[in-house]
Copies of this chain bind each other. A is one copy, B any other.
C-alpha cells in the first residue's frame, strides 16, 4: 500500500545550485515514513515511548529532477521487505506536476534505547505486514 504526504521545500533546504540539497531528501523520506506510520495507526513517536527505536542501517537515493524553494512536493511511501528486526521503506518524491524528483529506500533496524537489536513489536509488524509489497 502506498501512502502520501505533502510538504513544501523550505528556503533552508536549497543550496547555492538553486535547488534542494541532495541530503534533504533523506529528511523528506523521514517525513514520508513518519506520516506513513501515523496513517497506518502506529506513530513512530509512540513507538519510541514504548522503547523501540528504528535506526538507519542502509540508505539509497537516485535523483531525477531538481526543484527549488516553495515547490510543493508529494512523498509517496511504501513498505518493502519486513523481517524480524528490520523494515525497509521505499519512497518516491514528486513535484506538483507528478514529475519524479527522487526515488530511494531506507533500511531500518529495530533496537532498544541502547542500540541493541529488538524484534519489531507484533502489533506494528501486523500493521506493516498488511501493507508489505
Contacts and interface: CB of A to CB of B under 8 A. Distances in A.
Q: How large is the interface on A (under 10, 10 to 19, 20 to 34, 35 or more residues)?
A: 35 or more
Q: How many copies does the complex hold?
A: 4
A43 B57 contact: no
A18 B80 CA distance: 27
Interface in A32-63: 34, 43-45, 48, 53, 55-63
Given A56-B63, A61-B59, A16 B11 contact: yes
Nearest to A109: B63
Contact of A61 (B24, B45, B58): B58
Contact of A16 (B14, B34, B55): B14
Nearest to A27: B12
A121 interface: no
A63 B106 CA distance: 11
Interface in A62-121: 62-63, 66, 68-70, 115
Given A16-B19, A58-B61, 20 more contacts: A8-B34, A10-B30, A10-B31, A11-B15, A11-B27, A11-B30, A12-B26, A12-B30, A14-B15, A14-B16, A16-B68, A22-B26, A22-B56, A23-B24, A26-B26, A44-B70, A45-B70, A57-B62, A57-B63, A59-B61
